[in-house]
Structure 1
Amino acid sequence: MQTESDLSPPPQCSDDGTACVASVKGLKENWQKWSEERQEYQKQNPFSHDTKPTTVVLQRGQDGYGKPLQGSITEQRGKDAHTHIIREVQQLCEVIRDIGEPRGTNGRGRGGDNMNVITVEFGKLFEHYVTISNKLVGVLLRARKQGLVLFQGEMLWQGQDDRVVITLLQ
């Protein structure tokens, strides 16, 4: 009968058996590392039911509430979107300048000076701008919020509001 010491090691192990121990030890270390990384990831995962997130949840009124973390991809996307919208508003103002009619007003501007304005009807602007972008009404609303244009009503509808005058303030 053979004893344990008489058995030869499996072919992938070294004669002294250390290679098998080292590879099993390496597997164990890799598994432990992966397990610890996964636990940390799950702590940050808001959909995990196993652990509670370790991040501090800001309350309404605190600095940073409703804003993405600084340096995050979300923050960069927001900045890129803001830049894109600014370009679209500038392009809309240029189109209104090109196709609109200049009119002087007797009214006073914000600084107390006489205002020179350019006006265009929504229908004419829509027909021209549709080849540029399909977001005319949204860009108009943004431009009005920034104080660059004026028009009556909260929303403009193609066909229904074609005669509404849009005023570009200069």
Structure 2
Amino acid sequence: MGTNSQRSDFKPEVDLNRNAPPRSDDDRAMSSVSVKGLKENWQKWSSEHQESQKLNPFSHDTRQTVVVLQRGQDDYGRPQQGSLTEKRGKEAHTHIGREVQKLCEVIRDIGEHGGKGITVEFGKLFEHYVAISNTLVGILLRARKQGLVNFEGEMLWQGKDDHVAITLLE
């Protein structure tokens, strides 16, 4: 094609401010006020950040004002009261509780009544429950921990453990 000066679509750079009127004293004062406001906002953010770093356990700020809980104390290993983490944990706990209830209902529906309670094989339960949720084994482990179901072994594997009996205890 050629150099820029030979191209037909070439436009030289234009200084857009060359025709601007000179700045008045009011304009200069207004810009200094906005810079002053920016400085104050930055200082406010900086102070707030320093205070939040005092509460951050991963911060290298050595002036920690938070009492660090030790093992054995009541709130050790628990989120702060009223925090988003506590809220999410409660929501998750409620969700898992509903999943465990659904699992028990499915076992009641498809299981066989026997002497020990309602029993179903893992393979049959897996085939029915897969349409409800993909977390059957985790929910089974939680239900066993709560004393609602019982089965042999630590973990159940599809295919390998299809004939393991799962008993609903309630």
Q: Same fold (TM over 0.5)?
A: yes
Per-residue deviation at 1:65? 0.2
Q: Deviations along 1:100-157, whole A, 9 cap, x unmatched?
A: 111135xxxxxxxxxxx11111111111111111111111111111111111111111
For residue 45 of structure 1, report the CA deviation from its aligned partner. Answer: 3.2
Gaps of 5+ in 2: 1-21
Distance in 2 separating the partners of 1:12 and 1:51: 49
Match of 1:85 among 80, 96, 100: 96
1:167 deviates by 0.7
Residue correspondences, number: 149
The residue aligned with 2:132 is: 132
Contact 1:13/1:20 (<8 A) preserved: no
Q: Write out aligned runs for 1:4-83 (5 A).
A: 11-14=23-26, 26-83=37-94
C-alpha distance after superposition, 1:13-40 (max 9, x if no partner): 35xx987876665455334323322322
Report the TM-score when normalising by structure 1.
0.75
Hey, what does 2:145 align to over in structure 1?
145
Question: SS at the partner of 1:131?
Answer: coil
> What code does the residue aligned with 1:139 have?
I
When residues 101 and 36 of structure 1 are mapped into structure 2, their CA distance, relative to the original with a 3 A threshold, is same
Q: In structure 2, what is the Cα distance between the partners aligned to 1:12 and 1:35? A: 33
Residue type of the alignment partner of 1:41: S
Relative to structure 1, the CA distance from residue 27 to residue 13 in structure 2 (aligned partners, 3 Å threshold; closer, same or farther) is farther
Q: Which has the larger strand fraction?
A: 1
In structure 1, list runs of 5 or more residues that go unmatched.
Answer: 1-9, 106-116
Structure 2 match to 1:109 = none
Identity %: 74
Structure 2 letter corresponding to 1:32: Q
Q: Which amino acid aligns with 1:38?
A: H
- Which residue number in structure 2 is paired with residue 114 of structure 1? none
- Aligned-residue CA RMSD in angstroms? 2.5
* Residue in 2 that maps onto 1:118: 118
